Structure 1
Amino acid sequence: MTRWTAFAGLATVVLLLLLGLARLSEAQFAPVDEPAARGGDRYGDGNADRATGATGGTDTAPETHGPTATSSRPETPSRPETPSRPETPSHPATTPDADRSLSAPERSPVAAAEAEASLSAGVLLANVALSQGVFGAMLVAAAVWADVPAAALGLVPAATPPDLALGVGLGVALWLASEAGGRFAERVGIEVNEALRGALAPDTLAGWAILLLAVLPTVALFEEFLFRAVLVGAFGVGLDAPAWLPAGVAGVDPWPWLLAVGSSLAFALGHGAQGRAGIVATGALGFVLAGAFVLTGSFALVAVAHYLVNALTLVVHEFDPAAIGVRR
């Protein structure tokens, strides 16, 4: 029991670290205020940018910039001290810089937003694979040390053909449901943050191969091991509430389902970078996967389903054969 308590403590620490990293990702991929970032109508009155003096629509701000804004034009010529461009020769090496400095306030929000959300796909993928791979290895080693039953983790039997087939079917069904939910959200005006998904998309065939064959499997294996095998299965053993239930007895013991709800809430919070709509959708997805784990006791089934949801989403929305090799 002492070893199991230590294992549960380590799993809790890993979960908290993961949620902390997710919180950092929320700030990195937070949606940008489009009208403000693009120098558009920030004030809702047709003016592009009052702070920089840029005009839009019928704005008359240039006439009020001087100290004598109320004087008439015949009595007080506007800006007599400013020479015209033909009278002031410009140096070809400095003029472009001067022009850019004048227009920088209008473009700087866009540049800042793009710089903030344009992490290298390779660096981001390596970070995801490394962090989740290390966390996963720690949990597996701790589970072995704590003598957590393999059956509680859904590893006995390891992977049967029926489990794999059910995993494929469940993954495709969950992806279709996710697509339908995304379209419904767009139709009713609910914002879905897709910045993280776009940042994960590689721009080379080799990058896509690494994503589909290494990174996404690592993500699916780690997240299913933590959120389903550990938080539902292993924790169920510690609470004397095994997550695998005999046929016909599902729903009698409330503990596995309570653990499924708790792990799904944590799973949703770990995907905060996808926005509020993404959190809700991810929580629902997590609960379906947790329910499948409770009913079948198969880790392979939920891992395959999880992988397919991620892979299909990225391939369908981000893979563009015509753009391979060209950086967006």
Structure 2
Amino acid sequence: MTDWAAFTGFTGLVLVVLLSFAYVSRGVPHGDGASVSFDDNPDRETSLDGSRNDVELDGDELVSAATTENVVDGVSSTPIVPTPDSAAVSSDLPTHLLIANVAVSQALLGAFLALGAWYAEIPSAALGISAGDVPTKLGVGLALGLGLYAANRVGSSLSRQFGFTPDEALRESLTPESRAGWVLLLFVALPLIAGFEELLFRGALVGAVAVGFDVSPWLMAAVSSAAFGAGHSAQGRLGIVVTGLLGFVLAAAFVLTQSLLVVVVAHYLVNALEFVGNELFGW
């Protein structure tokens, strides 16, 4: 017999852990100046690797630096990847180990959520999982991913025209420095991220809750999208809003297609194109 309450408990626990990672990882620098500093000296700069460099600022230089630090991004061009956990942020991990850290954390959380679905005997259809019409679902996912990526690029370009610099700290921290790193990112980390996040935010929070408790899937799409944005706090305040909106588009696609595969493919494609486009074309 399906135990919807038990699975909701599993889902809530995973969500709390993920949001806790986001909260404790706010020390990642980002363009809206929302990063957390534990240094009492305001005239010190923090780099991505956690090191600090003393700087002397006065007069016009101080004003210029303050202006630069408080620029916010109108549209985030950072991939929709989760915030690395505190261990990844606070240590001097090489890029490939940082990617591996993110991949392992997503795999463990995803496995725990899948265990919850098995224990509670959740029907696969409630999570949007089915083996039917796979080619069509892949095609819809590809089209959706390309459309979201194109919209994100247009929005990012427009924001630059108005002087808003997109926050790229998270993408830069995860951009590989070797061929092996790219293989790890594109074929291990990003698929795990897309699969886990879509299972959690769309399959569990939208599909399972709507079916199990007779709640409007559109209401849950809004709730899950707010949580999705909050789980990406390393992208800055406006980045959270934009990521939440993107999450709602994915949730809407899930509600309309009833397919987890569609949104997993679209999510993966947005992330992969952000990294590859920036590396090859500087987008």
Matches within 5 A, 1:96-107: none
Q: Structure 2: how far apart are the matches of 1:2 and 1:305?
A: 30
Structure 2 equivalent of residue 64 of structure 1: none
Q: Structure 1: how far apart are the matches of 2:256 and 2:206?
A: 12
Structure 2 equivalent of residue 125 of structure 1: 99
Q: CA deviation at 1:46?
A: 7.7
Q: 1:195 to 1:118 in 2, by over 3 A?
A: farther
Structure 1 equivalent of residue 208 of structure 2: 234
Please list every run of at least 4 consecutive aligned residues from structure 1 whose deviation after the TM superposition is greater than 6 angstroms. Answer: 32-36, 45-48, 115-118
The percentage of aligned residue pairs carrying the same residue is 45
Could you tell me which runs of 5 or more consecutive residues in structure 1 were left unpaired when the two chains were aligned. Answer: 49-114, 242-254, 322-328
Q: Do structure 1's residue 6 and structure 2's residue 22 form an aligned pair? A: no
Structure 1 equivalent of residue 238 of structure 2: 277
Q: Structure 2: how far apart are the matches of 1:260 and 1:268?
A: 12
CA RMSD of aligned residues (A): 2.8
Q: Do structure 1's residue 288 and structure 2's residue 231 form an aligned pair? A: no
Q: Do structure 1's residue 300 and structure 2's residue 261 form an aligned pair? A: yes
Contact 2:2-2:122 within 8 A present in 1 as well: no
Q: TM-score, normalised by structure 1?
A: 0.67
- Which protein is bigger by CA-based radius of gyration? 1
Q: Structure 1: how far apart are the matches of 2:220 and 2:185?
A: 31
Matches within 5 A, 1:27-46: 27-31=27-31, 37=45, 39=55, 41-44=57-60
Q: CA deviation at 1:318?
A: 3.1
Could you tell me which runs of 5 or more consecutive residues in structure 2 were left unpaired when the two chains were aligned. Answer: 34-41, 46-53, 65-88
Q: TM-score, normalised by structure 2?
A: 0.78
Which shifted more, 273-282 or 170-179? 273-282
Which shifted more, 159-168 or 301-310? 159-168
Q: 1:32 to 1:118 in 2, by over 3 A?
A: farther
Q: 1:26 to 1:158 in 2, by over 3 A?
A: farther
Secondary structure in 2 matching 1:28: coil
Instruction: Kindly provide the amino acid, as one letter, of the partner of residue 9 in structure 2.
Output: G
Per-residue CA shift, 1:52-97, capped at 9, x if unaligned?
Answer: xxxxxxxxxxxxxxxxxxxxxxxxxxxxxxxxxxxxxxxxxxxxxx
Q: CA deviation at 1:9?
A: 1.0
Q: CA deviation at 1:26?
A: 2.0
Secondary structure in 2 matching 1:127: helix
Relative contact order, CA 8 A, sep 6+: which one is greater? 2
